[in-house]
Amino acid sequence: MAKDLDALRHSCSHVMAGAVKRLFPKVKLGIGPAIEDGFYYDFDKEDSFVPEDLAKIEKEMQKIIKQEQEFKKEEIAKKDALELFKKESYKIELINNLDVKTVSIYRHGEFVDLCKGPHVKSTGEIKAFKLLSIAGAYWHGIETNPMLQRIYGTCFESKKELDSFIKFREEAKKRDHRRLGKDLDLFSIHDEAGPGLVFYHPKGALLRMLIEDYVKKEHLRRGYQLVMGPHILKSDIWITSGHYEYYKENMYIFKVDKEEYAIKPMNCPAHMLIYKSKVRSYRDLPMRYFELGNVHRREKSGVLHGLLRVRGFTQDDAHIFCLPSQVEEEIKLVIDFVMDTMKVFGFSDYKIGLSTRPEKFIGDPKIWDKATDALKGALSSKGMEYEINEGEGAFYGPKIDIMVKDALARSWQCATVQCDFALPERFGLTYTSKDGKKERPVILHRVILGSVERFIGTLIEHYAGAFPLWLSPVQAVVIPITDRSHDYAEEIFNTLQKENIRVEIDKRNEKLQYKIREQELQKTPYMIIVGDKEKEAGTVSLRARKEGNVGVVKIEEVLGRIREEITDRK
């Protein structure tokens, strides 16, 4: 985000807060930063904001903007700031946490806020804004803290840019995987069973199976071996891996027969133990273990979001045990695997980030540098551009993240490859070198899709639920026009089913147009309609999702179209 746009949006958040204080004087102020698509401000209000309040707040903001109030910065003593904000408990907390003698404040009109800036010169510079939504937000994002009310808004330098954003937002809303997941009967989440836990309905389970079947076959074709680890492991294993120290707050831990266990949040330790179960030679490497592993993580309830952020999910997880001399080549093979897979699923654009050593890490910093250089070398040798994300690596190693861009050019996290010299040391993994010495392998942690749940959510939004034929849970539906056509419809249905086409038949006593409209809403790729004329001529009337009414054709032509489309994965 450009600095001037950041300042404009931050200024707009102050104007919004000033308008809220005018309308609701008893409200207490939280914080109000600029964010990627706009801004927000958190408020502590006894009763809830309602959607109608947004229009009132916008109207009051327009008054403040028309007054062209100057944004004035002041540096005041900390004690004076505490006096100034004595009725604002959240500001008092923020000031007390500052180890400074003076603090920065900004004023416009009668409104004053604790703030570093920057801001535009006056409220009159705000030309195009809109308040978008109301949400709950814990103070500092901590669940034990008070729940505040967050108002989101956006601001642009021109009305044209704002209108474009609103149009984009409306399109994104139509593609929301949570709404489409319900409309297309793919999945559900039930609070009574537990938040963040996904229930796949028949169509959703079939979609997932199609994705997983493709992934399994591709792994086998590329030299991976399938493995499976248990869902729970004793805490000793998680202590060895480092997860107990660095990741414990995200793990489900319990006791059985006085022994402490944890449900796995990662698949790595199980793969380490499988590798360690035999003596390994340098000739065995690289060794690639793959698992569609179910994992569970204690995500905070406030961050759960449909399929994109859940507590129970599946990773297409693999660990590559290799010689130091093989690391860069294996990373390049992983990158090729990612790119090939994303193309198959309809993603052609992406961006790459390389994340370096975080503050909390295990292992030798020199080894980290070596691992980071291997990742950089692989990307450079393939001529791929990337951004450095300082301090955002995993606790055991640096990583490459590949973000795919969907039909709306939004980025989604999918593939990751992490270079790890630390876990082989912690688990005592070895291989016998050419000269008979025991050496440590290097481990590459990698996923191609990432979380299968998140990938399905991404696919739903990318295709707006209209999946390509090979991924569609229902590829065709046969619709008889009258009861007289039922036997012929059954004949067509059986013909398609024998060809392994996922087909349904709709013999309900409903009007034809109603059935057609329903299948359009379900985004069914092909509708095969049969009546008296079609039965007599041995033909069908074909409707295609992409083309509309195709016309009267022979069933052999329908089969040919479908086979070709499936083969081409269109």
Is 3.40.50.800 the CATH classification of the domain at 469-567? yes
| Identity at 219, one-letter amino acid code | H
**Contact partners, residue 522, CB within 8 Å, separation at least 6:** 184, 474
User: Is the confidence at residue 1, as pLDDT, over 60?
Assistant: no
Q: Where are the alpha helices (DSSP H) in 443-547?
A: 452-463, 486-498, 512-521, 532-537
Task: Give the mean model confidence (pLDDT) for residues 115-142.
Answer: 93
Q: Which residue has tokens 């600095």?
A: 3
Calculate what percentage of the chain has a pLDDT beyond 90: 83
Residues of the chain with CATH 3.30.930.10: 207-461
Residues of the chain with CATH 3.30.980.10: 3-164
Question: Across the chain, what does the average pLDDT equal?
Answer: 94
Question: Would you call 315 a catalytic residue per the annotation?
Answer: yes
384-416: per-residue pLDDT in tens?
889 999 998 887 788 999 999 888 888 888 899
**Contact partners, residue 96, CB within 8 Å, separation at least 6:** 82
Residue 149: strand, helix, or coil = strand
More confident: 3 or 270: 270
516-538: per-residue pLDDT in tens?
999 999 999 999 999 999 999 99
- Catalytic residue from among 445, 462, 515, 535: 445
Question: Would you call 399 a catalytic residue per the annotation?
Answer: yes
Question: Would you call 317 a catalytic residue per the annotation?
Answer: yes
Q: Which of 141-145, 166-170, 307-311, 345-349 has the lowest mean pLDDT?
A: 141-145
Six-digit token string for 348: 């052609």
27-46: per-residue pLDDT in tens?
999 999 999 889 999 999 99
Structural contact between residues 179 and 305, judged by C-beta atoms closer than 8 angstroms: no
- Catalytic residue from among 69, 149, 315, 519: 315
471-485: per-residue pLDDT in tens?
999 999 999 999 999
Q: Is the peptide bond before 146 cis (omega within 30 degrees of 0)?
A: no
DSSP letters spanning 550-566: EEEE-HHHHHHHHHHHH
Domain 207-461 CATH superfamily:
Bira Bifunctional Protein; Domain 2 (3.30.930.10)
Structural contact between residues 55 and 152, judged by C-beta atoms closer than 8 angstroms: no
- Catalytic residue from among 177, 203, 264, 319: 319
Picking from 87, 107, 85, the residue whose alpha carbon sits closest to that of residue 95 is 85
Question: Would you call 268 a catalytic residue per the annotation?
Answer: yes
195-206: per-residue pLDDT in tens?
999 999 999 999
Residues of the chain with CATH 3.40.50.800: 469-567
Cα separations (Å) of 314 from 142, 267, 272, 293, 428?
27, 10, 19, 5, 27
415-446: per-residue pLDDT in tens?
999 888 888 999 999 999 999 999 999 999 99
Q: What is the pLDDT of residue 362?
A: 78
Topology at the third CATH level for domain 3-164 = Threonyl-tRNA Synthetase; Chain A, domain 2 (3.30.980)
Q: At 437, give phi and psi (nearest 5°).
A: -85, 155
253-268: per-residue pLDDT in tens?
999 999 999 999 999 9
- Catalytic residue from among 357, 399, 454, 535: 399
Task: Give the mean model confidence (pLDDT) for residues 49-78.
Answer: 96
Q: What is the pLDDT of residue 296?
A: 97
Q: What is the pLDDT of residue 360?
A: 82
Question: Would you call 297 a catalytic residue per the annotation?
Answer: yes
Determine which helix (DSSP H) or strand (DSSP E) holds 215, and give its type and residue range.
Answer: helix 202-221
Question: Would you call 445 a catalytic residue per the annotation?
Answer: yes
Q: What is the pLDDT of residue 517?
A: 96
277-286: per-residue pLDDT in tens?
999 999 999 9
Confidence of residue 2 (pLDDT cuts 50, 70, 90): low
User: Is the confidence at residue 160, as pLDDT, over 50?
Assistant: yes
- Catalytic residue from among 317, 401, 420, 506: 317
- Catalytic residue from among 12, 115, 155, 268: 268
Determine which helix (DSSP H) or strand (DSSP E) holds 214, and give its type and residue range.
Answer: helix 202-221
Q: What is the pLDDT of residue 302?
A: 77
Q: What is the pLDDT of residue 3?
A: 58
Cα–Cα distance for residue pair 172/299, rounded to 1 Å: 25
